[in-house]
Amino acid sequence: MAGDRHGAEGLCGSYGRRLGRRRGMRGLFSAPAVVGLLEGEGLDDAARETLERVVCLEWELFDGVRNAGGRASCQDDLRSFFSYRCTQYLAFPHEIVPRVLGELERAELEGRNVVREKYARMMAVTDPEAFGREWSSLLAPPSPVKSEALRQLRRLLVPALEEAAAALPVSHGHARPDESSAGHVSALDYLEAEVCSYSLGTIFALRDALRRQLGHTNPIARSYVLSGRLHDATEVIE
């Protein structure tokens, strides 16, 4: 979204609107090409259902986020949202997806829109003055223990990002930048803004799973490949 600067209105819109967005997302998940791709990535029926529930809920929550200049066009770009979010969950350790679903459901029961919180946290690096004015009193900073866990995640992923840039420079050029600037959030700052809403248990589980995965697979390079495949798999649906 333009500038990565957002507020929110309500949790995520009316029930009818949520159902409509849910139907659209489920239509992509049921497409034969998508089903085949997910099966090829090792997801059984239960894992595909969990991933679908996560991405559907994020899509509903995204509807409630408001850009500083009004609603952004990407909030209605179902296909791109599907490709991007599924890419992340498929490229990173699959075992974390059920934990993420639990985090999303728990936050919603508490009346929190974690997608809104993610974009607000991005403002801390893309527009610090606006963040201090609009959000610093609403979002508590992470505890020292969580801050250290987030630093550990970043230290794990910096070499992976560098390797992905060297191996796939064209794809890397189309991804988020390496460093955040005014209005533009980096790949690692984006991930940290998202993960910051998770419980310590989930962050530690992600850290440990990443350590195991990085021994044989680069999730960032993998995400570049999967992004194109997922986009192609939904092409005939539009």
Instruction: Label residue 1 by pLDDT band (50, 70, 90).
Output: very low
What confidence tier does 69 reach under pLDDT thresholds 50, 70, 90? low
DSSP state of 12: S
C-alpha 178/C-alpha 19 separation (Å) is: 37
Q: What is the tens place of the pLDDT at every residue in 9-59?
A: 345 557 778 888 889 999 999 999 999 999 999 999 999 999 999 999 999
Predicted local confidence at residue 18, as pLDDT: 82
- Give DSSP secondary structure letters for 195-230: HTTS-HHHHHHHHHHHHHHTTT--HHHHHHHHHHHH
Which residue carries 């209005």 as its tokens? 183
**183 phi-psi bin (left φ>0, alpha ψ -120 to 50, beta other):** left
127-152: average pLDDT: 93
Predicted model pTM: 0.90
Q: Return the closest-CA partner of residue 157 out of 103, 118, 116, 194.
A: 194
User: pLDDT of 162-210, one tens digit each?
Assistant: 999 999 999 999 999 999 999 899 999 999 999 999 999 999 999 999 9
Determine the pLDDT at residue 236: 61
**CA triple 31-218-162, angle to 5 deg:** 120
